[in-house]
């Protein structure tokens, strides 16, 4: 069948095939130059900083490194970062799935506007995002007086940090899902409904399994950003040590106080998170790739 033919035919995207063919092979010099440029860039701008973070963190030995991490302020920063991510990621998971579902499976007025709006946190500077919340909830803001009167604290407190994180990480999951769900169309959901499934069953048994890899990918990216966000959180945090400092903010404070080893120690945690994220991301891409190949091999 077609599948067998597709497997026998050489993969047109395979680099080795391109390389093995005399007609398409580039001269050796071109190859060397391109590789040299690429690898130099990679080494200087990516590898070196990464190595530097860990080297600086461990410069004064493991003792100092661990001490910097278990110091109360650092622990508080780690806890707050985890809390913000633990709230922002599930919220965005729900928002993202709902938005992608609405946009791809229904037609309604204002759909195009909603698609544009989802990108807003990407297109606006994170500092502005933070400022928006200060203007709305801050002491001089729209609801400032009312909040103060009722003793609610949002700005310079944990809720503000969570809000800013949610705002900044909003697009990640929806952006991953929308193109995929648009490509998949509505046929399978319609089939499910004609077979007697409720809307919820169609979503749970048909839509969700079809997008699970994209969803996971979105969650990973969303989480990485939620933990690493600096700009928006910095504006609403107030930098109260041990209370409203997230890890990125804590790194900045330590660095400004010339505690380089401690700053790099906390920074190395964030770098580690990035590495773990990349590893999981690669794994998901590989799994999704395998799934897609099964899909294509028909």
Partner 1 sequence: MSIEVRNISKTFGAFKALDDVTLSLPKGELIALLGPSGCGKTTLLRIIAGLEHADSGSITLSGRDATSKTVRERHVGFVFQHYALFRHMSVFENVAFGLRVKPRAQRPNENVIREKVMRLLDLVQLAWVADRFPSQLSGGQRQRIALARALAVEPEVLLLDEPFGALDAKVRKELRRWLRRLHDELHISSVFVTHDQEEALEVADRVVLMNKGHVEQIGSPWEIYNQPATSFAYSFIGNVNAFRGRVEGGNLRVGNDLLAHGSQELADGTSVIGYARPHDTHILPEFAGQDGIVARVNRILTNGAVSRVELIATGECRKDAPEYFEVEISPAEIASLGLEAGKRVRLASHKLALFNDTTQGRIQ
- Shortest Cβ 202–partner 1 spacing (Å): 8
CB 155 within 8 A of CB 137: yes
- Nearest-Å Rg of the Cα atoms of the chain is 24
- Shortest Cβ 200–partner 1 spacing (Å): 10
**Residue 237 to residue 180: CA distance in whole angstroms:** 36
Residue 4 binds to partner 1 (criterion: CB under 8 A): no
Please say which residue, 216 or 269, places its beta carbon nearer to partner 1. Answer: 216
Residue 182 binds to partner 1 (criterion: CB under 8 A): no
Q: Which of 67, 69, 197, 280 lies at the binding interface for partner 1 (CB under 8 A)?
A: 197
Which of these segments, 139-147, 167-175, 200-208, 237-245, binds partner 1 (CB under 8 A)?
200-208
Residue 191 binds to partner 1 (criterion: CB under 8 A): yes
Residue 22 binds to partner 1 (criterion: CB under 8 A): no
- Shortest Cβ 180–partner 1 spacing (Å): 12
Q: Which of 53, 77, 80, 206 lies at the binding interface for partner 1 (CB under 8 A)?
A: 206
Residue 19 binds to partner 1 (criterion: CB under 8 A): no
Which of these segments, 87-95, 169-177, 192-200, 214-222, binds partner 1 (CB under 8 A)?
192-200
- Shortest Cβ 5–partner 1 spacing (Å): 12
Element (H, E) at 197: none
Measured in degrees and rounded to the nearest 5, phi and psi for residue 150 equal: -95, 10
- Shortest Cβ 111–partner 1 spacing (Å): 15
Residue 205 binds to partner 1 (criterion: CB under 8 A): yes
**Residue 238 to residue 134: CA distance in whole angstroms:** 11
Residue 188 binds to partner 1 (criterion: CB under 8 A): yes
**Residue 297 to residue 96: CA distance in whole angstroms:** 30
H helix runs in 126-259, sequence order: 126-137, 144-149, 158-169, 171-184, 187-194, 199-202, 208-228, 231-237, 247-256
Residue 9 binds to partner 1 (criterion: CB under 8 A): no
Residue 209 binds to partner 1 (criterion: CB under 8 A): yes
> How far, in Å, are 78, 79, 157, 212, 283 from residue 91 at the CA level?
20, 18, 19, 17, 24
- Shortest Cβ 292–partner 1 spacing (Å): 10
> How far, in Å, are 89, 152, 184, 292 from residue 178 at the CA level?
18, 37, 10, 17
Widest pairwise Cα distance in the chain? 78
By the criterion CB under 8 A, which residues form the site for partner 1? 1-3, 187-188, 190-198, 201, 205-206, 209-210, 294-298
């Amino acid at each position: 069948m077609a599948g067998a033919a597709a497997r026998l035919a050489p993969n047109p995207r395979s680099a080795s095939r391109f390389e093995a063919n005399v007609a398409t092979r580039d001269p050796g010099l071109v190859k060397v130059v391109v590789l040299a440029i690429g690898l130099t860039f990679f080494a200087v701008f990516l590898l070196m900083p990464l190595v530097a973070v860990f080297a600086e963190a461990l410069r004064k030995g493991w003792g100092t490194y661990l001490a910097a991490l278990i110091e109360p302020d650092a622990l508080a920063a780690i806890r707050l970062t985890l809390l913000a991510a633990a709230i922002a990621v599930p919220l965005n998971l729900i928002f993202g799935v709902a938005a992608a579902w609405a946009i791809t499976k229904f037609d309604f007025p204002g759909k195009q506007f909603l698609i544009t709006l989802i990108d807003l946190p990407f297109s606006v500077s994170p500092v502005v995002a933070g400022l928006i919340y200060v203007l709305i909830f801050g002491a001089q803001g729209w609801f400032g007086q009312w909040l103060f009167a009722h003793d609610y604290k949002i700005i310079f407190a944990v809720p503000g940090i969570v809000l800013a994180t949610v705002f900044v990480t909003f697009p990640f999951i929806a952006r991953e899902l929308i193109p995929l769900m648009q490509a998949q169309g509505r046929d399978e959901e319609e089939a499910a409904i004609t077979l007697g499934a409720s809307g919820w069953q169609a979503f749970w048994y048909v839509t969700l399994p079809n997008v699970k890899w994209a969803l996971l990918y979105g969650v990973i990216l969303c989480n990485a950003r939620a933990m690493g966000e600096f700009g928006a959180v910095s504006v609403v945090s107030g930098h109260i040590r041990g209370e409203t400092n997230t890890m990125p903010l804590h790194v900045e404070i330590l660095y400004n106080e010339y505690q380089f080893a401690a700053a790099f120690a906390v920074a190395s945690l964030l770098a580690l998170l990035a590495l773990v994220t990349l590893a999981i991301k690669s794994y998901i891409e590989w799994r999704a790739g395998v799934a897609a190949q099964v899909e294509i091999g028909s």
